[in-house]
Structure formats: structure tokens, C-alpha cells
Amino acid sequence: MDKRLMDMPNFRPNKTPVKKTVKEIVYHIVGIILSLIFVLPILYMLATSTKSEFAYASSIGTINMFLPDFANSAVAFENYKNVLLNYDIWKYALNSFVYAGIVIVLNILINGLAGYVMAKLTFPGKRMLSFLIIFLIVVPVETSIIPLYSIVKIMLGLKQQMSVLGVILPAAISIFNVFLFMQFFQNIPKEYEEAARIDGANTLGVFFKVIMPLSKPILATVAVFCFIGVWNDYLWPSMILPAANDGSWPLLPIQTALISIKSIEGITTGEIMASLVITSIPIFVIYVAAQKYIVKGFGTAGLKM
């Protein structure tokens, strides 16, 4: 080291403290362990979906549990082909896509309008209603399933195609999504609305022409949450929708198909894992595509009352 630097009164050698180095090492070790905990089940699922029943049984307890069977690629093709075609999982997946698309549109329209009213308009009892929304967010969904089932059964009768409305309509209203919209809309400057009203726009015109185009992050966030909720829903559709009859198109969504596939006689573990991979792909793709909007949506939807 240069002696002239050491002779300077304010000179301090650039040394990394030992504690900081130890903390960084521990941080990376813990991060790697946690990553493996989350990644290993996914690797196991992907690897098993490529194997025959014999190859799966042979790999149990070894590192091959997490490695695909590259030697028999035809087995993987057969597993996915059987799941998609022979077990008709594509029909249940299509049902879930249709249900999710309808629920997303209704959620954006209904909950978006409700959030706009709560965020931008003034009316008697608004503050009480705001606290009621927060209170309902923490109420478990399970507590309302039985009353909701009774209401839907009385109003719709739960007969064949009418039972589809019993799946869609309750999912079209979400207190949590109303809260997200409300918090996001509060951060939009009033000047945009005032400019639109000067141009002659009414309340609905301001909402659709000004507020909605400025709300892409929260729209993407709500859309992803709605899709995941509908795609992963099992309990409520299994209560509402009828079982598929022979030769008729099933009305049940994808998650109910996974439960029924497991009970099919002669199905292999590789086919079960292939069905799990197929049901996981849409969620992964949609989340990755909308990730930046989700982060921005939560970042701007602050807890401001």
C-alpha cells in the first residue's frame, strides 16, 4: 500500500468487516436452501411426468427422482397425450378458461365501478362503508359458503346449465378487488377527471375514457388474481355443478378433473404428474407476462383511507 496514503490523517483502510462477510455467506446459504425447498417439488413433478411406472419406481430414493427420463422420451409424449385426449382434461381446461374470462370481465366492470365510487365520489355513509369493506376482507370465505349455497340454490335452482351462473356470479364480486381498485384510484390526480368533465364527459365517461386507461397495473393485477382464483377453485364448483353424464360435455373446471383423474383405474404416476404440469403452465405463463404490472399495481395501491 502506498505509504503516502497511510500517512494521511483521515485515511481508513478499505477492509470488509468479518461480520458483514459472515452475514453475506449465511444469507446466500439460507437463500439457496429456501430456493431448493420450493424448486425441488417442481423438478420432481416435471421429471416424473416423463417416466413410465417402472422408471418412476426405480428412481425413488435417488437423485434420479428429480431428473427426466431422457432415454425414453416417447413415454413422456404418451403421458401427456393420454392425459389430454384419453382423459378429456382439455375439456375441463377449456371450461376453466371460459369461466375465468367471464369472471375477469365482470370483476373489472363491477368491482372497478365500485372502487371508483368509493375513491372519487362523495356520499353519506362513505367512511362507514369503507371500514365495512376492510372488515369483510378479513372474514374467511368458508364462513359464507353455506349461506351462499342456499341463496344460489333458491335463486337458480342448480339445474344443468343454470348452475354455471352459480359459479360465475358469486366470483364476479370480490371485496378485496374493490379495495384494490379503491386504493389505486385514490392515487390518480383529480386534474385528469376535471379536464374530462370540461370536455363534457359524465361520470361513466370519465371512468371508461380516463380512469381505466390509466389503471393498467391494477387491471392486470385483478385479472391475474381472478384467473388464479377460478383456475384453482375446487370446492365451490364441485358443490354447484353437476357431474358429467356419459357423452355430454362436462361443466366442471380443471381442478375437479384432477381429483377424478387420480381415481381412474390403471392411471400411472407419470400421467398424474403430467396433468399437474398441464394445469400449472397457464398460471406460470400469465403471472410471468403480467409480473411487472402486478408489482406496479401493488406499489401504487397504498393503504390510504
Residue 109 — pLDDT band, cuts 50, 70, 90? very high
pLDDT tens, position by position, 261-272: 777 777 888 888
* Per-residue model confidence (pLDDT) at position 195: 87
Give the global pTM.
0.80
Q: Which residue has the cell 397425450?
A: 81
pLDDT tens, position by position, 149-173: 888 877 776 665 667 888 888 888 8
Which of 9-23, 101-115, 134-148: highest mean pLDDT? Answer: 101-115
Residue 6 — pLDDT band, cuts 50, 70, 90? very low
- Using CB atoms within 10 Å of the CB of residue 169, give its burial: 0 to 12 exposed, 13 to 18 middle, 19+ buried: middle
pLDDT at 180 over 70: yes
Residue partners of 134: CB distance under 8 A and separation at least 6: 179
Average pLDDT over residues 125-130: 83
Q: How far apart are CA 85 and CA 146, in angstroms?
A: 36
